[in-house]
Each structure stands twice: as structure tokens, then as C-alpha cells.
């Protein structure tokens, strides 16, 4: 690449990284987050029966990543709620999505072309949060790579990681939906992204933070918009993971089959077939014999 082109790209990345996220990008982040809350089963009924519980769930969807990151770094989990402007904006979004007359606001923001714009804007905020989480942890733990990665990860996907707790507020308990057991694309992407930002922060990745924010944000926007537009849940990491994971961690199917066979043999060794069930005629015959003995 020629030097002028590289300079223009660097200037573009620096200008993109300096764009403020409040209020427009934050509003888009809150809209998509509360939309996903409304999609949850029973969320609309809960908003009518217990508006306060619905509001708490919405705040977890909007600020769950900040709560988890503060807990990891030993800070107050309600520290971010001192930002009155963000809390008021998130509350206004929650009220309009759940209680707007004739459901007009919800119909507008859930219209697919409009929703795709908000989804793209949300990914801008997500990547900024990952970078900020790694940067914040680096100031407190200069050599704590795993602390940086953990903080950046929860900053990018804290809402999903708190999903089970949020379910309890809605009166639902589904441990099989644990996000760590079944990672969605945003959670995986946040994990991989926080590794990149940690390497960049510790000077092992020779790229500027602005360039990394720009390129990773473009990657997240393209993937998430495409998945939302096509209603796809397939992860773009699946082909790479399908090739690498069996090499380093073994095949899931073979291990599961051997485990199943071992249990199957043990069950067969201890299993004894139940006695044959008597037919209706045999039961009637036994009853007649007993009656004949009593008569005699």
C-alpha cells in the first residue's frame, strides 16, 4: 500500500475511534438490547404484572457488562448507575418499547431495515467497550493478561453471561441455556476480540488501537448485520473451530460414543429383565381358582 493511502486509512481509523458513542450509539445499543428482552417468552406479561421487575431486567440488558466488569475489578457494581444521562436514556427506551401507545415505537424500531442500522451501531459500542475494558484492567494490572482478557470479555458480552440471573428476575430458570456452555456469536467474538486487544495493549500485536478498533468493528458489523438480516444463528467461526478443535481437544462424538458404550455395558451387566406381564386371561383364570377354593 502506498504511503498516502496508509496515512488516509490511519486518519480514518483515528477519526472513527474518536467518535463519541453518547447519545446516538448508546441509544441504538439500548434499543437493540431491550428489543431482545421483549422477544423473551413472558417478558410482555411481566411488564404488565410487575413493571419494576421488567425495568430491572432492561437495566441488566443495558448495563450488565458494566456491572460484571466492576465486580471483577473490585469496584462497586452500581458505579455506572451514577451516570444519570445513560440511565434515563435506557429507561426512556424501555418505556417506549413496552408501553408506547399502539406499540408504535416497537413497530418502528423492529422494522428490519431500521433494526439493521441499530444492530450495526450496537456493534460499534460493543467493540469500544471491549477496548475500554482491556485498557482499564491494564492500568490496574499491568502484567495481568488474563485479568485484561476477562474484563474485556465481560465488557463485550456481559449481558449474555448474566442471562441466567436475568431469567430469575423474570421467574424463569433454564440452566441448560448457560452462555458459557453454548456460546453465541457475540460472546465468542468478544472473547476473540479481547485477546487481540490484550495483545495490542501489551505491545505483542504491532497495530495501533485505533486501527484495531476500526477493523474489528467492521468485522463485527458485517457479521452481525448479515446474521440478523438472514435470521441465521450459524457462527462464522464454525469452520475454523471445526478444523482446529478436533486436533487439539479431540472429537466430541467419539468421546461421547465411548462414554455411552461404557455406561451401556455397565447398565446391561446390572440390568435384569422384569418378570413377564400376565395376560388378562391368566389373571381371570387365577381369580376363578381363588374363588373356587373359597367356595370349597
Q: What is the pLDDT of residues 95-151, one digit of tens each?
A: 999 999 999 999 999 999 999 999 999 999 999 999 999 999 999 998 899 999 999
Say what the pLDDT of residue 286 is.
52
**CB distance 33 to 59 below 8 Å:** no
- Give the pLDDT confidence score for residue 5 in this predicted structure: 58
CA 36/CA 109 separation, integer angstroms? 12
Contact assessment for residue 193 and residue 156, using Cβ atoms and an 8 Å cutoff: yes
Ranges 4-18, 28-42, 60-74, 250-264: which has the least confidence = 250-264
Q: What are the respective helix, strand and coil percentages of the chain, to the nearest 5? A: 80, 0, 20
Model confidence at 251: pLDDT above 80: no
pLDDT at 290 over 80: no
Q: For the residues 196-223, what does the mean pLDDT come to? A: 95
What is the C-alpha separation between 165 and 156, in angstroms, rounded?
17
CA dihedral 77→91→23→73, nearest 10 degrees, is 10
**First-to-last CA distance in the chain?**
111
- Are the C-beta atoms of 25 and 123 separated by less than 8 Å? no
- pLDDT range class, residue 255, cuts 50, 70, 90: very low
| Nearest to 33, CA basis, from 62, 67, 55 | 62
pLDDT of residue 248: 86
* Residue 2: pLDDT band with limits 50, 70, 90: low
Output the CA torsion sign for 257, 262, 266, 268: positive
**Is residue 268 pLDDT above 90, yes or no?**
no
What's the mean pLDDT when you consider all of the chain? 84
Q: 128 and 151 in contact (C-beta within 8 Å)? A: no
The more confident residue out of 290 and 182 is 182
Amino acid 234: pLDDT: 82
Which pLDDT band, with edges at 50, 70 and 90, does 6 fall under?
A: low
Q: Is residue 153 predicted with pLDDT exceeding 50?
A: yes
Band (273; pLDDT cuts 50, 70, 90):
very low
User: How high is the pLDDT of residue 294?
Assistant: 44
Say if residue 260's pLDDT is above 50. no
Distance separating alpha carbons of residues 227 and 70, to the nearest angstrom: 31
Mean pLDDT for 159-186 is 85
Is residue 162 predicted with pLDDT exceeding 80?
A: yes
Amino acid at each position: 500500500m502506498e504511503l498516502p493511502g496508509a496515512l488516509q486509512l490511519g486518519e480514518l481509523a483515528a477519526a472513527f475511534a474518536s467518535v463519541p458513542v453518547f447519545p446516538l450509539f448508546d441509544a441504538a445499543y439500548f434499543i437493540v438490547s431491550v428489543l431482545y428482552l421483549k422477544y423473551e417468552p413472558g417478558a410482555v406479561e411481566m411488564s404488565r404484572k410487575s413493571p419494576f421487575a421488567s425495568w430491572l431486567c432492561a437495566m441488566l440488558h443495558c448495563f450488565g457488562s458494566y456491572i460484571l466488569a466492576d465486580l471483577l475489578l473490585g469496584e462497586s457494581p452500581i458505579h455506572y448507575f451514577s451516570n444519570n444521562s445513560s440511565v434515563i436514556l435506557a429507561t426512556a427506551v424501555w418505556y417506549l418499547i413496552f408501553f408506547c401507545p399502539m406499540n408504535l415505537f416497537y413497530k418502528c424500531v423492529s422494522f428490519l431495515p431500521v433494526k439493521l442500522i441499530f444492530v450495526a451501531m450496537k456493534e460499534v459500542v460493543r467493540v469500544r467497550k471491549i477496548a475500554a475494558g482491556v485498557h482499564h484492567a491494564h492500568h490496574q494490572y499491568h502484567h495481568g493478561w488474563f485479568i485484561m482478557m476477562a474484563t474485556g470479555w465481560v465488557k463485550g458480552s456481559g449481558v449474555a453471561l448474566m442471562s441466567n440471573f436475568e431469567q430469575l428476575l423474570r421467574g424463569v430458570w433454564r440452566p441448560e441455556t448457560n452462555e458459557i456452555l453454548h456460546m453465541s456469536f457475540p460472546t465468542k467474538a468478544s472473547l476473540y476480540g479481547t485477546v487481540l486487544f490484550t495483545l495490542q495493549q501489551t505491545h505483542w500485536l504491532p497495530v495501533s488501537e485505533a486501527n484495531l478498533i476500526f477493523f474489528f468493528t467492521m468485522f463485527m458489523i458485517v457479521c452481525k448485520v448479515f446474521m440478523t438480516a438472514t435470521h441465521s444463528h450459524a457462527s462464522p467461526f464454525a469452520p475454523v473451530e471445526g478444523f482446529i478443535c478436533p486436533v487439539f481437544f479431540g472429537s466430541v462424538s467419539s468421546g461421547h460414543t465411548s462414554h455411552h458404550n461404557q455406561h451401556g455395558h455397565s447398565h446391561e451387566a446390572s440390568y435384569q429383565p422384569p418378570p413377564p406381564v400376565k395376560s388378562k386371561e391368566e389373571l381371570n383364570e387365577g381369580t376363578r381358582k381363588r374363588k373356587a377354593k373359597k367356595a370349597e
